[in-house]
Amino acid sequence: MTGRSASLMVTCLGDLFFPEVGVSIVRLLRRLGVAVDVPADQTCCGLPLFNSGYHADAAGVARRTVELFGDSEHVVVPSGSCAWMVKHEYPGLLADTTLARAAVELAARTHELSQVLVRVLGVTEFTSAVRGRVTYHDSCHLLRGLHESESPRTLLSNLEGAELVPLPGADECCGFGGSFAVRLPEVSSKILAKKLANVESTGADCLVACDAGCLMQMGGGLTRAKSRVRALHLAELLDGGR
Amino acid sequence: MTTRAEFLDRIRAQVRRAPGRFQAASARRPRHAAAEAETIRRELAERWPETLEAFRREFEGVAGVFHRVASVDMVPAVVAGIARERQARELVTWHPTALGADLAPALGARGLDVHSMPAAAPAGSAERERLRTIAARADLGLTGVDLAVAETGTLVLVSGVGRPRSTSLLPPCHVAVFDRTALVESLRQVGVFLEAWHGDGRAPAGGASINFITGPSRTADIELTLTRGVHGPKEVHAIFVEQPIRG
Amino acid sequence: MSDAELATPFRQRAGSAMKDAFLQEALTIATTKFIGLRREAFASFPEGEALRDQARAIKEATLQRLDQHLETLIGNVERLGGHVHYAETSAEARSIIVDIAKRTGARMAVKSKSMATEEIHLNEALEAAGVTPVETDLGEYIIQLAHERPSHIIAPAIHKTKGQVAELFTRELKRPAEPDPEALTLIARGELREKFLQADLGISGANFAVAETGTVVLVTNEGNGRMVTSMPRVHVAVMGVEKVVPSFTDLMVFLAILAKSATGQKLSVYTSMVQGPRRAGELEGPDEFHLVLLDGGRIAQIDGPLREALSCLRCGACLNVCPVYRQIGGHAYGYTYPGPIGILLTAMLEGAPAVRDLAHASSLCGACADACPVRIDIPHMLIELRREVDDRKIAPWSERVAFKLLAGLLRRPWLYRLAARAGRIAQTPFARSGRIGRLPLVLGEWTRTRDLPPVAPRTFQERWATDRDLRA
């Protein structure tokens, strides 16, 4: 990361529901000597509109985002799904506009958090904010959209104070799927129940993921079941101090 | 009724309108398939024992029963043994020209009721019916093999004169006799032979049916429990003859 | 699917399926097993990935010249003494086949497993014409006796327990049947052997057709494919136009990956290649061979958004990994083809309005695209279908309004901030100890089974704007 500066794309879910994740990312990057800025007036990457088929509207939101991050050297995204949207779908959505080239360039400069830490900065060792056993869920867009399953595991297995235990069916969907969760709530909940049974079977204290949507779904299920397992974002877990 | 012209025209129009999604090509076919098939034969002739071993492993892996004899005149004893184990008496077999040897007398001498399939197609449907009834009644069907594929443990049988489809299909036990000349290593090589047969070569028997047989008939349609012998044979035996059958 | 069943919203059908304990257990066992078998097969097959890429390329290349390849195929089938027919619609296909049956005096037809014949609803038409259709694939035989439709592309009776099959056989075949798969299979073998040998007409599908030689290829395990194409005096093969492949060399690429993707086998037990009717000198084989080429909405997609779905090999791998299919099974989808690819095929055959709900029967997880041997990007096309449903205003107006509001909000940061503040206020009665347990209206769909985090007292951007130590 030349010049060691990065812009944080905080994401709508992150901004509204999990601000502590953004705070942890800022702290983590600063500790690594990266200057962090947060372009003002962020809203959303447009994925919810895109996934439900409202592409003209999604393109409008994409335009905003491309313009907002036009000056960023690097963009760090806490969610695999939002990073995927920018990298994978923005170029197509804006192909016939004046921002076509800018979209392609933004796609190249945007990375999900674990990829930034491991692949871009080459840093893999952190101290855990939570001591105990952790288990990792592969969120679908990060795993299959961005082909990333290693970086989070590298970080978690090198995490001081935490023991990584494998999650059976880690690569299986948690059932969030955006609007799917409220369009077909019974199916979504049954898929979630299977995921949580797997989580409980690991004996882990903490469930980690790199996507706010997954964390809302799984975390919501865990607290409803009054489980002792905590759902945390990777950034929070890595933010254990020095 | 849609005519051919109408049907194809619609497709043509669509194909012309649609840009290709990406650069794509069909598989590269062998330039001279018959020559390439010959080359495969020659090369495999040198290493047939390894190919045979690979075939045996795969064949047994799909529940095939493998046997090995030194020469073709020892085949009847093995067949009789298989028949005895199953309390089988009646046997249908490919015609001697299709098998490469006349095994009927030796099999008959061992107490088996042998029906050889005729070399020429019968004149009427009554005769066809009669032969089919025999095949349906038989306990065991004896055939040759056109290709034995090591990669998958597969027997490739071409239908034709003196080698009807039912011999390897109707009786509950199928016994196939082959030698080193049938061995091929891979599906890719099978493709070369298929190209050769249909191009400048001619299929071993030129019938209208080619069957790849990989083990006995099976299903797992009921609770995913594997059962054998659904409509086709419940057992498949392969007898490898060390000395080439056709000398 | 009857009209009454289709009137039930998909969500309700899905709900019923999830309450069916037998079905749930069967689905879990079957899909888990298939997933494991497929994984093992490809784990020990390093060439597999390259072959998948090659298979995808062959399908694409074939589509780019589909008319030429079909012309070659037709010429060769006719050269071999076969007849080719052209069916634009299901109705036309039915009528062609019924005509053949009538003309040849057929009274009973044996059928090997063919999704294409399910798609065109052939059996009812045959029965109406006085021809008795007999399904011979064990799974299809079972569901035929039960008067049901298949619930999985390759394992049609996956939803039935052996107890249910035993009861079915006892009742329909009027003979006592033990709930033991081997015994039940033996019964079916006996019953169907008679039919194979007596039938006048054999009807099959086609997994592939080799253009260069006029060869129709059937991939089966039981032997019924061989029976149906050899024993009766007339054989009719029904085939979607997209099944043609240029040559045997191309065919071998598909054979190398099809069975592995479907059941984990290196090859299915029988790969049967049919080249026209019986030849001179042959003892067996049909007098007549007919190939019915089926459009049924496929041709329009050559230049359509669902073009990639034309590469489908009907292996069922996507069903086995789909988190939705694994919970609800095949019948809940309501159409011939279930699962992820089924939604696309239904749209192809019946049009986008038919999949107004089904297009959303997916969390877009992408497991299907991952498992597909020819790498069909199913999630991408599901999103395209959703888009079509929105553009054509088939989606309910309340939903369109909601998303319009959302879009407006996301483009206006001041409105977004206002909404956050409003949310914070509105949630106060519902938030308890840091989480929200129950909400009205659409959000109630979430909170029935899951907690929701509340809107944070200060959003990240609010903190960034005011907290000096955060910015420093």
**Opening angle at CA C423, ends C420 and C428, nearest 5:** 135
Q: What is the pLDDT of residue C1?
A: 55
- The minimal CB distance from B159 to the residues C56, C212, C282 is found for C282
Same domain? For A88 and A54 the reply is: yes
Q: What is the pLDDT of residue C430?
A: 84
Query: B195 CB near a chain C CB, below 8 Å?
Result: yes
Residue A17 has pLDDT above 70, yes or no: yes
Q: What is the pLDDT of residue C7?
A: 61
Residue B66 has pLDDT above 70, yes or no: yes
Tell me which chains share at least 3 CB pairs under 8 Å with chain C: A, B
Q: What is the pLDDT of residue A124?
A: 96
SS3 string, chain C, reads CCHHHHHCCHHHHHHHHHHCHHHHHHHHHHHHHHHHHHHHHHHCCCCHHHHHHHHHHHHHHHHHCHHHHHHHHHHHHHHCCCEEEEECCHHHHHHHHHHHHHHCCCCEEEECCCHHHHHCCHHHHHHHCCCEEEECCHHHHHHHHCCCCCCCCCCCCCCCCHHHHHHHHHHHHCCCCCCCHHHHHHHHHHHHHHHHHHCCEEEECCCEEECCCCEEEEEECCCHHHHHHHCCCEEEEEEEHHHEECCHHHHHHHHHHHHHHHCCCCCCCEEEEECCCCCCCCCCCCCEEEEEEECCCCHHHHHCCCHHHHHCCCCCHHHHHCHHHHHHCCHHHCCCCCHHHHHHHHHHHHCHHHHCCHHHCCCCCCHHHHHCCCCCCHHHHHHHHHHHHHHCCCCCHHHHHHHHHHHHHHHCHHHHHHHHHHHHHHHCCCEECCEECCCCHHHHHHHCCCCECCCCCCCHHHHHHHCHHHHC
Contact assessment for residue C98 and residue C121, using Cβ atoms and an 8 Å cutoff = no
Q: B172's torsion region: left (phi>0), alpha (psi -120 to 50) or beta?
A: alpha
Q: Do C295 and B7 touch (CB under 8 A)?
A: yes
pLDDT average, residue stretch C135-152: 93
Q: pLDDT tens digits, residue range C47-90? A: 999 999 999 999 999 999 999 999 999 999 999 999 999 999 99
Number of domains making up chain A? 2
Q: How far is CA C37 from CA C45, C110, C265, in A?
A: 13, 31, 8
In chain A, pLDDT over 70 holds for what percent of residues? 98
Residue B200 has pLDDT above 70, yes or no: no
Residue C344 has pLDDT above 90, yes or no: yes
Q: Which residues of B touch C283 (CB under 8 A)?
A: 117-118, 121-122, 128, 131, 164, 166
- DSSP 8-state assignment for residue B73: G
CATH (domain of A70): 3.40.50
Count of C-beta atoms within a 10 Å radius of residue C176: 9
Residue of chain C nearest B236, judged by CA positions: C269
10 Å CB burial of residue C267 (0-12, 13-18, 19+) is buried
Q: pLDDT tens digits, residue range C205-250? A: 999 999 999 999 999 999 999 999 999 999 999 999 999 999 999 9
Residue C318 has pLDDT above 60, yes or no: yes
- Looking at the structure, give the CATH architecture of the domain made up of residues C54-296: 3-Layer(aba) Sandwich (3.40)
Q: Do C221 and B2 touch (CB under 8 A)?
A: no
Q: Do C185 and B165 touch (CB under 8 A)?
A: no
| Residue-number span of the structural domain to which A94 is assigned | 2-119
Same domain? For A24 and A82 the reply is: yes
Q: What is the pLDDT of residue C301?
A: 97
Tell me: ipTM over 0.95. Answer: yes
Angle between helices C248-262 and B187-198 in degrees, nearest 10: 140
Q: What is the pLDDT of residue C435?
A: 81
Domain B30-241 matching CATH 3.40.50.10420: the answer reads: yes
Q: Which of C283, C295, C310, C375 to mutate: most B Cβ within 10 Å?
A: C283
Q: What is the pLDDT of residue C4?
A: 55
Last residue of a domain, one of A102, A119, A136: A119
**Sequence letter at residue C61:** A
Q: What is the pLDDT of residue C437?
A: 78
10 Å CB burial of residue C205 (0-12, 13-18, 19+) is buried
Q: Do B218 and C281 touch (CB under 8 A)?
A: no
Same domain? For A141 and A114 the reply is: no
pLDDT average, residue stretch A6-27: 97
In chain C, pLDDT over 70 holds for what percent of residues? 98
Same domain? For A55 and A91 the reply is: yes
**Sequence letter at residue C312:** C
Contact assessment for residue B193 and residue B34, using Cβ atoms and an 8 Å cutoff = no
Q: pLDDT tens digits, residue range A187-229? A: 999 999 999 999 999 999 999 999 999 999 999 999 999 999 9
Measured distance CA(A156)–CA(A163) in Å, rounded: 8
- DSSP 8-state assignment for residue B6: H
Side by side, the strands of the sheet bearing C270-274 are B183-184, B147-149, B154-160, B206-213, C270-274, C215-220, C208-210, C244-245
What is the residue-averaged pLDDT of chain A? 96
Sequence ranges of the domains in chain C: 1-44+312-395, 54-296, 414-471
Residue C125 — very low, low, confident or very high, per pLDDT cuts 50/70/90? very high
Q: Do C249 and B15 touch (CB under 8 A)?
A: no
Contact assessment for residue B40 and residue B135, using Cβ atoms and an 8 Å cutoff = no
β-pairing, B206-213 with C270-274?
antiparallel
Q: Which residues of B touch C307 (CB under 8 A)?
A: 18, 21
Contact assessment for residue A168 and residue A207, using Cβ atoms and an 8 Å cutoff = no
**Opening angle at CA A181, ends A175 and A183, nearest 5:** 135
Residue B201 — very low, low, confident or very high, per pLDDT cuts 50/70/90? low
Q: How many CB pairs under 8 A join B and C?
A: 267
Tell me the backbone φ, ψ of residue B63, rounded to 5 degrees.
Answer: 70, 25
B90 has which bridge partners?
Answer: B113
Last residue of a domain, one of A119, A148, A167: A119
Q: Do B28 and C273 touch (CB under 8 A)?
A: no
Tokens 């990312």 correspond to A25
Q: Which residues of C touch B216 (CB under 8 A)?
A: 269
Burial profile C140-149: b = 16 or more Cβ within 10 angstroms, e = fewer: bbbbbbbeeb
* C310/chain B closest Cα distance in angstroms: 13
β-pairing, B218-219 with B227-228?
antiparallel
Same domain? For A49 and A77 the reply is: yes
pLDDT average, residue stretch C343-352: 97
Last residue of a domain, one of A84, A119, A154: A119
Residue B64 has pLDDT above 70, yes or no: yes
Q: Do A17 and C453 touch (CB under 8 A)?
A: yes
Same domain? For A27 and A105 the reply is: yes
Nearest to B135 by CA among C341, C149, C155, C197: C197
10 Å CB burial of residue B217 (0-12, 13-18, 19+) is buried
Q: How far is CA C360 from CA A187, B63, C356, in A?
A: 12, 44, 8
What is the residue-averaged pLDDT of chain C? 94
Q: pLDDT tens digits, residue range B227-238? A: 999 999 999 999
Residue A137 has pLDDT above 70, yes or no: yes
Q: pLDDT tens digits, residue range B11-45? A: 999 999 997 888 898 999 999 999 999 999 999 99
Nearest to C281 by CA among A188, A97, B158, A201: B158
pLDDT average, residue stretch A51-71: 96
Contact assessment for residue A239 and residue A41, using Cβ atoms and an 8 Å cutoff = no
* C137/chain B closest Cα distance in angstroms: 9
Q: What is the pLDDT of residue C213?
A: 96
Q: What is the pLDDT of residue B125?
A: 84
Cβ within 8 Å of A, C 325-364: 327-328, 359-364
pLDDT average, residue stretch A102-117: 97
Residue A138 — very low, low, confident or very high, per pLDDT cuts 50/70/90? very high
Query: B246 CB near a chain C CB, below 8 Å?
Result: no
- The minimal CB distance from C407 to the residues A54, A173, A192 is found for A54
